[in-house]
Amino acid sequence: TAAHVNAWKNRLGVDEIPANTALVDMGQSQSVYNKEQINSLCMLLENYVNSDGKIMSGMIEALGLTELITVTQTSLASFMADHANYTYEKNDMIAIPDGAGNYSLYIYKGGSKTAADNYIPTGLTNLTIAMVQGLQAALDGKMNKPAASGNYYARYFLGQVSWAAINPASGYLLFWNGNDFTGSRIYTDGTKFGIGTTAPAEMLHLSNGRIRSKAVVFDENTETLPYQITHSNRRYYGSDLTGAARMFMYRDYADYKALWEGFTDAQKNEIKTIANGGWTTNTMSVAIITPPIAAKQDTAQWFVMRGANLNLNPAGFAVYLVDAGGTEFQVPNSQVQLYTSGLDLSFWYNFKDLALGTYKVKLWNGAASYTTGASVTITLVSNVTPIDFSGMTWEKVSTTPAQVNNTINASGTTVSHYPNSGNAPYTEFETVVCAAKSGTIISDNENFYLKASVTVGSGRLTSWGNIIGVGLSSNPLTLVNSSQAFSKIKQNNDSSSMKYGWADMSSSLISGGFNIGQFQSIPYEVMIMRNQGIYTIIVSTGSVSATFVKSGSNGALSLLYYGFSAADIDGITPPTACTSSVSFIEGYKF
């Protein structure tokens, strides 16, 4: 087999130089070499020449040759004696002619140029220059050196070596652009690095640039510099232009809670509202519930609450009725009507299963709860009977009796007042100029609830007096107020032209009044309820209200209206613009 043949070849030393072989050099040196010397000093010709017997340039490069020196001396000794006439360096090849057109090749290994030991014979003799065709060009191409001093790198392409300068501006890191080494945008002053700047202020300084990274790992750092992000004690800090650092990551719940505790109430409410989908989380309030009574009957009964911040989040709210013992009864959300204004909220409830008594209303807006106060309640009674306003009669009086019909009109459930100089002179002072009283609508010892809607004209009121009053009375009708329950509109004494609604003639602006606007035709509501001799009077407009509670008679009552004087005190608004009216729109007995 081929394996057997190769094994015998290896055993017999086929293709090897026999041990008894000698190499006789008939050139100038005329030396004889044995096998060991041949292996040490000579090269196999077939490894270095082509099929034409010419030395291949690639093999010359493998020898590390740099230059071929052709001399005229015909022996190494004579060449060494005349070496000063030649320029050659370590590893250069010396070609010594024999006078017959052939050459012996030696490699100068460095050292003294007059010592024969420093010239290594290649073992190639009797060579013609033709046999090393292209040798000089190959050596020149391999060992070309730049003419000028500097920093270079060698470029090898298609067997040729060329040199390219490396000369970036001082301080810049090198950058390979695919063809050359050039200066990059990264600059260093020896201790700091800058990108886009030659004056780095930090270890790494980017001028007008951004960093994008999958992650950044921070070391512990307690320093505070302007515009800095640091990590310290499991917290991250960001500093402003003054270097003041603020936390933006908190290590635990207590840490985060401390942040919230530092906000003002207004800031807390604003954040809560945002977190609640834009629906209010501000402090809710309910000024009035109408009607304030309900019957223990198997029927749906509607109620309207007016106040502030009642625009609850539809996705998370609740309405409860709360009895005197604190037990809560939830009103199904499907029975609640929400309004975006935040001023109103309506709901209905069937009270048939609840015990008689007084119920507060509790609201939940998704973030906080609110329960109405003691004066804003729903009283559950056994039975409620609507007040019959049909066929109601009125008696009227005025300063000038002949002008009564030109000054005041009373019909059905409505009374209207028209300022009239023919009835009484216009004056700034508090003077009743007309009044109207209905027949008896409330009997002795009857509990009741009554609601009236009052409209005040857009004219300016007198600076001292009132323009309108509405209430209940059991006394004879005169131009002097003698009511049991009363509400009125009063002009502010400092002439700031603001209308005020307040409860009961005996209460003050401070305890029972509120601002309802300037020079506006404003409707407001008056609610009067009597329960076992206790009168509750509520005056409201929008989300603003005033409440007054007083004890009074349990006797029979009639509706009562008073009209006050008007005056042209600003020279702009005529007194005739100060018209007003009242309509009694709802009433129950219980």
**pLDDT tens, residue by residue, 72-109:** 999 999 999 999 999 998 888 888 988 888 888 888 98
Q: Is the pLDDT of residue 495 over 70?
A: no
Calculate Rg over the CA atoms of the chain. 58
CA distances from 89 to 113, 135, 456 (A): 10, 17, 121
> What gap in Å lies between CA 163 and CA 322, rounded to an integer?
96
b (16+ CB within 10 A) / e for 3-40:
eeeeeeeeeeeeeebeeeeeeebebbeeeebeeeebee
Q: Is the pLDDT of residue 379 over 70?
A: yes
For 479, other C-beta atoms within 10 Å of its C-beta total: 15
| 531 backbone dihedrals φ, ψ, rounded to 5° | -140, 105
Q: Tell me the per-residue pLDDT of 158-210, one tens digit each, with 9 for 90 and over.
A: 878 888 889 888 999 999 988 889 989 999 999 999 999 999 998 999 998 88
pLDDT at residue number 491: 47
Q: Is the pLDDT of residue 294 over 90?
A: yes
Q: Is the pLDDT of residue 394 over 60?
A: yes
In the chain, the amino acid numbered 190 is G
> What gap in Å lies between CA 285 and CA 310, rounded to an integer?
8
CATH code of domain 285-383: 2.60.40.10
> CB of 418 within 8 A of CB of 543?
no
Burial (CB count within 10 angstroms: exposed 0-12, middle 13-18, buried 19+), residue 287 = buried
Q: Is the pLDDT of residue 510 over 50?
A: no
The mean pLDDT value for 389-417 works out to: 94
Q: Tell me the per-residue pLDDT of 307-353, one tens digit each, with 9 for 90 and over.
A: 888 988 888 899 999 999 999 999 999 999 998 888 899 999 999 99
pLDDT at residue number 209: 84
Q: Tell me the per-residue pLDDT of 512-521, one tens digit each, with 9 for 90 and over.
A: 566 555 545 6
pLDDT at residue number 504: 56
Return residue ranges of the chain for CATH 2.60.40.10: 285-383
For 393, other C-beta atoms within 10 Å of its C-beta total: 9
The Cα angle at residue 272 between residues 269 and 278, in degrees rounded to 5 = 105
Q: Tell me the per-residue pLDDT of 354-369, one tens digit each, with 9 for 90 and over.
A: 999 999 999 998 888 9
Retrieve residue 453's tokens.
């809607």
Collect all residues with Cβ–Cβ distance below 8 Å to 44 and sequence separation of at least 6: none
- The correct answer on CATH 3.40.50.300 for the domain covering 394-589 is no
The mean pLDDT value for 39-49 works out to: 60
Return residue ranges of the chain for CATH 2.60.120.200: 394-589
CA 349, 340, 344, 312 torsion: positive or negative? positive
pLDDT at residue number 489: 64
Confidence of residue 471 (pLDDT cuts 50, 70, 90): confident
Size of the chain, expressed as the number of residues it contains: 590
Instruction: Identify the residue whose tokens are 């301080």.
Output: 171
pLDDT at residue number 455: 82
In three-state form (DSSP H/G/I as H, E/B as E, the rest C), the secondary structure along 170-237 is: CCEEEEECCCCEEEEEEEECCCCEEECCCCCCCCEEECCCCCCCCCCCCCECCCCCCCCEEEECCEEE
pLDDT at residue number 60: 55
The Cα angle at residue 343 between residues 334 and 496, in degrees rounded to 5 = 170
